Amino acid sequence: MNPPVETAMVAPPRGRPAWTAAAFILVFALHWATPAGPHEWHWLHLVAQKMLFLPVLMAAAWFDLRRTLIVTALVSAAFGLHIAVQWSGRPMVQAEQLAELVNLWIAGPASWAFFRAERLAAERLRRAHADTLLTVVSSLELREPYTAGHSRRVAAYSLLAAEKMGLRDPAFLRLLETGALLHDAGKIGVPDVALLKTGALNDEEWEAMRRHPQSGASLARGSDALEGAAPIIAAHHERWDGRGYPAGLAGEAISLGARIVAAADVYDALTTSRPYKRAFSHDEATAILREQSGAALDPRVVEAFVAVPFRALAETAARHGVTLRVDEGIRENILGK
């Protein structure tokens, strides 16, 4: 379940407090460096005075209301000190300058409210987009009832593996999730006779089946929002040793996202039952992943995947309709981890 849109607005991203502090220092340094009173640089003093809005607007754009008010108060205090010290003995000028502070106290909270409305609208749009994507994925899975939830589990497992690999770039993680959700979207073009067949496929059926990564990638390329995920979709059946399809790419020539999705795809296929096989236990599945390390799968991805705590995988699986199990003999070892 998603958190409410309101609380989805996060703490300021790294670096932004530093940029705001830098703007604050720069503006006041400029203001103090061009003293009050008559001199030929007075215009610069006035420009610096108008630039007081800069740190306040940065705070309004990036932070919550409390931090915006704190920055506004700090700017007001520093400016007040400047008025008291540098304009002492000129009460009329002091009054005029103090009135300037009122503008700051209007601009800070008002811009914060505008920026917040923008952020909420963007967040709602992002969620609507994500919901549409999930609906498309669910409708694709209606054709193969036994794979219900497969794409969502592959997406969630891929994110767990990526986290273990220390991959934190939000843009990469978004593409990874989208690519994983849509990795089998191209199966919409595979005829039922091949898609739903439980026995061995003949050559023609195999050929139709092997086209699904490319078809899925072309579907994604048709949308600006999904285009970045196309390389993941196109390469999710490539193998680390170069014996996969459709392009026979090997090693790091396969996009990292596709290598992660490939491992998650294998793990989910193994741990769920299909008409032609039982569901393997977590231990059996991770043993097979290890066997495939350096063959079908990227060793670095396998290493990360098998290091994901069983509990995290099991909770994810349960959210999407699958109960993962561990073998009796080592149940306690794994659950104790």
* Residue number, 119 or 211, with CB nearest to Fe ion: 211
CA angle (295 as vertex; 290, 297 as ends), nearest 5: 65
The angle formed by the CA atoms of residues 276, 280 and 285, to the nearest 5 degrees, is 120
Nearer CB in complex with Fe ion: 184/283: 184
**Cα–Cα distance for residue pair 166/256, rounded to 1 Å:** 13
The radius of gyration computed from the CA coordinates of the chain, to the nearest angstrom, equals 29
CA–CA dist 104, 56 (Å, integer): 8
Q: Residue 239 CB, nearest distance to Fe ion (Å)?
A: 13
CB-based contacts of 136, cutoff 8 Å, min separation 6: 182, 185
- Closer CB to Fe ion, residue 141 or residue 184? 184
238 makes contact with Fe ion (CB under 5 A): no
Contacts of Fe ion in 146-185 (CB under 5 A): 184
Nearer Cβ to Fe ion, position 69 or 182?
182
d(CA 41, CA 33): 10
Cβ 186 to Fe ion shortest distance, Å: 8
CA neighbor of 75 nearest in space, from 99, 102, 104: 104
180-219 residues near Fe ion, rule: CB under 5 A: 184
99 to 138: interface string for Fe ion, x by CB under 5 A = ----------------------------------------
* Nearest residue relative to Fe ion (C-beta): 184
Of residues 184 and 238, the one with the C-beta less far from Fe ion: 184
Q: Count residues contacting Fe ion (CB under 5 A)? A: 1
* Smallest distance from Fe ion to CB 209, Å: 9
DSSP 3-state of 293: strand
Which stretches of the chain bind Fe ion, using CB under 5 A?
Answer: 184
